[in-house]
Chain A
C-alpha cells in the first residue's frame, strides 16, 4: 500500500461482500484484510475478451500487448504523443495517456 507511488492499490478495510448487490459469478470477490488492485480483468483476458472498462469505454481506452511490435497499441504509441505518470521513478508503468486525443470517443 505505502510503496505504490500511483495510489492504485486499495485495501479491504472491512468485508466488502455485503456491499455487492449482485455477485458476478465470473469475477472473484475477496475478503477483508487483503490488498486489491486492477489486474486488467485477467479472467476475461484468459477467455480472449477485453477488460470490462475497455469494452465499456467504446474506444476511449485502448488495450493490447506492448510486447508485440505489431499490436494496435504499439502502432498508436508510434503515431501519437503520449505521457506516463511519474516515469522518473523507474517503475515502468504500462498505462500511457494520449495527449490531444479527440473529444468524441
Chain B
C-alpha cells in the first residue's frame, strides 16, 4: 500500500517537501543542541521541563483520543465511525512518534535512551510511560495497517485482529493515565500533586484530539475525493462538547480546592499563571487567551445551531485545540515549577533554537500524518467510499 504515498499531485509534493525542509532545519538545530547541551534551551535549575515536555504531554492526549472513534465503532457498532477509525489510528501513530521525539530531544544524554529498557526501573513512572507509549504505537500500526489492507482488497478484516483492536481500546486511556502519573505522584510540586490529574488529562485528551480530527476530516474532504461523512463530524462535535465541559469543570475543581483552602503552595502556581507573581508573569497573556478560547468554544459548541453549522464547528474545534495546547503544552508544565522549592520565582521562556527544534518535530509529525492519510484516502477513493462533488 505504501506506493500510494509516492504518487500525488504537485500540491501534495510541495507540501511534503516543505515539511521535510522544516524538519531538516529542526534537525540541524538539534545537532547544535547535542553538541552544546540543553543549555541551548530556556530550561534552568528551577524550570527543568518546558516546551519539549509540554508538547509531549499534550500530544499523548491527541494520541489517546483515537479511542473516541474506535470504541463507538467496534464496541457499539456505530457504523458512522467506520469510515474514520483509520483517521484516528493514523493520527495516534504520528502523535506517539512526536511524543517519543519530544522525549528524545529533552534528554541530556540521548545515547543512553535504551537504558530505559535495558535497565528497567519499575519504580519509575517514566519506564512505564515508555512501555505503554511504544505498545500503543505498535498496536495502532498493526491494527490500522491490517484493517486498511483488508479494505483495499475489499474483504473483511482477518479475525485474529479483533483481540488487538480490543486491546488498543483498553490501552488508549492507559497512555494518558500513566503520563499523568509522571506529575501526580510528585509530592513536592503542589500544582501537580492532585488525584484528579489523570481524569483531567483524559478530559483534555478526548476534547483536543477529536477537535483536531474534525478539522482534519474537513481538510481531507476538501483535498481528496474521500468523504469522512457529515454525520461522523457531527458525532465528533458532540464528543468534543461533553469532554470540553468536563475539562473546564475539572479545572474549576482545582481552583476551588486551591483558593477556598487558601493553602499558599496550591494557590501560588495559579496566581503565577493567571496574574503573575512578584512582578513576573510572562505566561499571563497566554493563559488568558486559553481561558477566553475555552469559553468561546463552549458558547459555539453548546448552541445547537452553531454546532450543527460546519463552519462554526470548525472554528470551535480550532479554539478547543489551541486553548488546550496552551493549557497542557505550556501552563501546566511550567506552572508546576513556579515558585521553586525555596518559594522564589524564576521564569522560563523558550529560546529560538528550542522553538525551531519544536517546530521541526511538529513538521516531522505532520509529514508522517500526511503520508499515512495519503495512503488511507487513496485506498478509500479506490474502493469507492467517496462522493463526487
Pair from one complex: yes
Chain A interface residues toward B at CB < 8 A: 1-7, 10-15, 31-35, 86, 89-91
Q: How far is the CA of A89 from the CA of B43 in the complex (A)?
A: 26
Chain B interface residues toward A at CB < 8 A: 36-39, 43-46, 48-49, 107-109, 186-189, 336-337, 340-342
Q: Which residue of A lies closest to B185 (CB)?
A: A3
Report if A33-B38 is in contact (Cβ < 8 Å); known contacts: A11-B48, A13-B43: yes
The one of A4, A11, A31, A90 that contacts B38, using a Cβ cutoff of 8 Å: A11
Q: Which residue of B lies closest to A85 (CB)?
A: B341
Most B Cβ at <10 Å: residue of A5, A10, A13, A35:
A13
What B residues does A1 contact at CB under 8 A? Answer: 48-49
Q: How far is the CA of A91 from the CA of B187 in the complex (A)?
A: 9
Nearest CB in chain A: distance from B116 CB, A:
15
Q: Is there an interface contact between B37 and A7, defined as CB atoms closer than 8 Å?
A: no
Q: Is there an interface contact between B189 and A7, defined as CB atoms closer than 8 Å?
A: no
A-B contact pairs, 25 of them (CB 8 A): A1-B48, A1-B49, A2-B48, A2-B189, A2-B337, A3-B188, A4-B341, A5-B188, A5-B341, A6-B341, A7-B45, A7-B341, A11-B108, A12-B37, A13-B43, A14-B36, A14-B37, A14-B38, A14-B39, A32-B38, A32-B39, A33-B37, A33-B38, A35-B108, A90-B187
What A residues does B108 contact at CB under 8 A? Answer: 11-12, 32-35
What A residues does B189 contact at CB under 8 A? Answer: 2, 5
Nearest CB in chain A: distance from B29 CB, A:
16
Further contacts, 18 of them, CB under 8 A, given A32-B39, A34-B109: A2-B189, A4-B188, A5-B187, A5-B188, A5-B341, A7-B46, A7-B341, A7-B342, A11-B38, A14-B37, A15-B37, A32-B38, A32-B108, A33-B37, A33-B38, A33-B107, A35-B108, A91-B187
What B residues does A89 contact at CB under 8 A? Answer: 187-188
What A residues does B45 contact at CB under 8 A? Answer: 7, 10-11
Report if A7-B340 is in contact (Cβ < 8 Å); known contacts: A2-B189, A14-B36: yes
Nearest CB in chain B: distance from A15 CB, A:
6
Nearest CB in chain B: distance from A3 CB, A:
5
Nearest CB in chain A: distance from B127 CB, A:
14
